[in-house]
Amino acid sequence: MPVLGIFLLKKFFLYDIIIVLHSTFLGGTYGILFKTGKNLFLKKREVNTKRILWYTQNMKITIVCVGKIKEKFYRDAVEEYKKRLGRYCKMQIVEVADEKTPDKASEALENQIKEKEGNRILSHISDSDYVIALAINGKERDSVELAEHIRSLGLHGKSSLTFVIGGSLGLSEEVLKRADEKLSFSKMTFPHQLMRVILAEQIYRSYRIIHGEPYHK
C-alpha cells in the first residue's frame, strides 16, 4: 500500500511524535512513531473498516428541493436510486412548493420569490444538519472526492446530511448563508428536476465507492 504521508505532529515530553500513514481508500494501516534522541519506537495500528462503514450506513441523507417533478421518467429515476440507497443509508426527499415567476420579472420580485422558497427550505433544516447547497459557484468535486467527503463527514459525527437544490431562480441568500458548504456539478446550467437525478446517482455512486464496490469510471 502507498505511503500517504509522514507527519511530525508535536513534541510530547521527550518524544517527537510522528505519524506514518499507509492507506487504501477505506482501510490500511497507520503507525505512530515515537522518537527520542537516536531511539525510535513504532506502534502499528489497523484502520477499522467496519467502523467506517457503520458510521456511513447510519447517516441520514436528505435532499430538499423546490417544486414537484411532473415528468414520470425523472420521478422513476429518482425513486430507483432512492431504492438502491436503502441498503447503504437512510434517505428521504423533501419537496417544497415553488412560486410562479412571471415573464420579465424584476430583480426585486425574483429576490422575493427566492426568499419565500428559501423560508420553506429552511423550515426542513434543523440546527444539527450539515447542509450542502448546490450552487454553480460552489466547489467542484469528482466522484471519488465526494465519496471521501461523505465518509469523512460520517466519521466526524455528521450523522444528518442535507443537500439543497433551489428552483429555477436558484437559492436565497438566507439558504446560502445557512449552508455549511456549496457544491457545484458544473459551470453549465441544468434543469433543477434533472439535478435531483444527477445528485441521487452521485450519492449512490459515492456509497458504492465507500463500500469498495465496482462503479463506472
Q: What is the CATH number of the domain that holds 113?
A: 3.40.1280.10
Q: Do 177 and 203 belong to one domain?
A: yes
* Residue 176, H or E segment: helix 173-178
Average pLDDT of adjacent 10-residue blocks, the chain of 217 residues: 43 44 44 51 50 63 95 96 94 95 91 96 97 96 95 90 95 97 93 94 95 79
Into how many domains does the chain fold? 2
**Quick check: is 217 in a domain?**
no
For residues 4 and 22, is the Cβ–Cβ distance under 8 A? yes
Query: Strand, coil or helix: what is 102?
Result: coil
> What CA–CA distances, in Å, run from 67 to 101, 117, 167, 213, 217?
12, 9, 7, 34, 32
Rounded to two decimals, what is the model's pTM? 0.75
Note down the domain range covering 38. 3-47
- If asked whether residues 85 and 177 sit together in one domain, one would say yes
Does some domain include residue 117?
Answer: yes
Q: What is the pLDDT of residue 15?
A: 44
- Same domain? For 85 and 114 the reply is yes
Give the three-state DSSP class for 179. Answer: coil
With contact defined as beta carbons under 8 Å apart, do 207 and 147 qualify? yes
CB 210 within 8 A of CB 151: yes
Q: Judge contact between 168 and 192, C-beta under 8 A.
A: yes
Residue 217: predicted pLDDT = 59
Instruction: Establish if 138 belongs to a structural domain.
Output: yes
pLDDT at 25: 43
68/97 Cα distance (integer angstroms): 7
Q: Are residues 21 and 57 in the same domain?
A: no
